[in-house]
Amino acid sequence: MNLPDPFNVIVSGVGGQGNILIARLIGRVLAQNGFLVSIGETFGAAQRGGAVFSSLRISKKRGYSPLIPSGQGHVIVGLEPLETLRMLSRFGNADVTALSNDRPVYPVDALGGRDKYPDPKQLYAAIDKVAKHSYIVPATEIALQLGGAIMANIAILGALAETKALPLEPEEVAEEVARTVPAAKKAENLEAFKRGAEAVRRLSETRAA
């Protein structure tokens, strides 16, 4: 795989969705594979219902600033479609890969009608349009079927590994998930990972057909 160096990945979402865990898990696998990885995170006030994202700079040369320059994202992952699109508008370019959960989390101003949350179909269409490769997966739905919305991040992780957009193998990521999650929740999390991966496989097959 011929990667740009540095390779820049963004994992976005809404405070509390678990974007930091995704960033750290893939960061660990990449570091095991010999990459220098720096991660930037959002803490504090923004975690309270705000838009949050983790950034990963992946390189064989040196440690990079955790801040990704505008328009220089290579892979953009989102736990919420509006946030995926927000990150694409800032870091996207004609070669970017995007992967997003399909489930909206409404901003507080959209709850009482001060703002209108766009029709999710419009969001998916926009993501498809501005990303070279795009994958919209039902990560929250998968997680809810398995007993808890919080596992959406693991479903997205399974999907991400399956896109092959990053220099890592799905098995390596699954092993890291198994090591990281509490033993009592291991089976559900690995199942979420697997179903996330299947969702991407189905998308790729539909497109190929």
Q: Toward another protein, which CB reaches closer, 172 or 204? A: 172
Nearer to another protein, 129 or 207 (CB): 129
Contact 75, 99 (CB under 8 A): yes
Q: Does 4 bind another protein (CB under 8 A)?
A: no
Residues 74-103 that bind another protein (CB under 8 A): 82-83, 85-86, 88-89, 92-94, 103
Sole binder of another protein in the list 64, 174, 189, 195 (CB under 8 A)? 64
Among residue numbers 116 through 135, which ones bind another protein (CB under 8 A)? 116-118, 122-123, 126, 129-130
- Residue 27 CB-half CA count within 13 A: 22
CA distance 201 to 169: 14
DSSP labels, 80-117? SHHHHHHHHHHH--TT-EEEEE------HHHHTTSS-P
The reply on whether position 111 binds another protein by CB under 8 A is: yes
Alpha-carbon distance 27 to 167, whole Å? 11
Stretch (H or E) spanning 126:
helix 120-130
Shortest distance, position 194 Cβ to another protein, whole Å = 19
| Residue 162 within binding range of another protein, rule CB under 8 A | no
Binding-residue total with another protein (CB under 8 A): 70
Is there binding between residue 185 and another protein (CB under 8 A)?
A: no
Taking the complex as a whole, the smallest distance from the CB of residue 2 to another protein amounts, in Å, to 19
- CB neighbour burial string for 2-31, b if at least 16 within 10 angstroms, e if fewer: eeeebbbbbbbbbbebbbbbbbbbbbbbbe
What residues numbered 9-38 form the site for another protein, per CB under 8 A? 14, 16, 24, 27-28, 31-34, 36-38
Q: Whose CA is closest to 11, among 34, 37, 35, 32?
A: 37
Among 3, 40, 194, 204, interactor with another protein by CB under 8 A: 40
The residue within the footprint of another protein, chosen from 112, 182, 184, 206 (CB under 8 A), is 112
Instruction: Tell me if 51 contacts another protein by CB under 8 A.
Output: yes
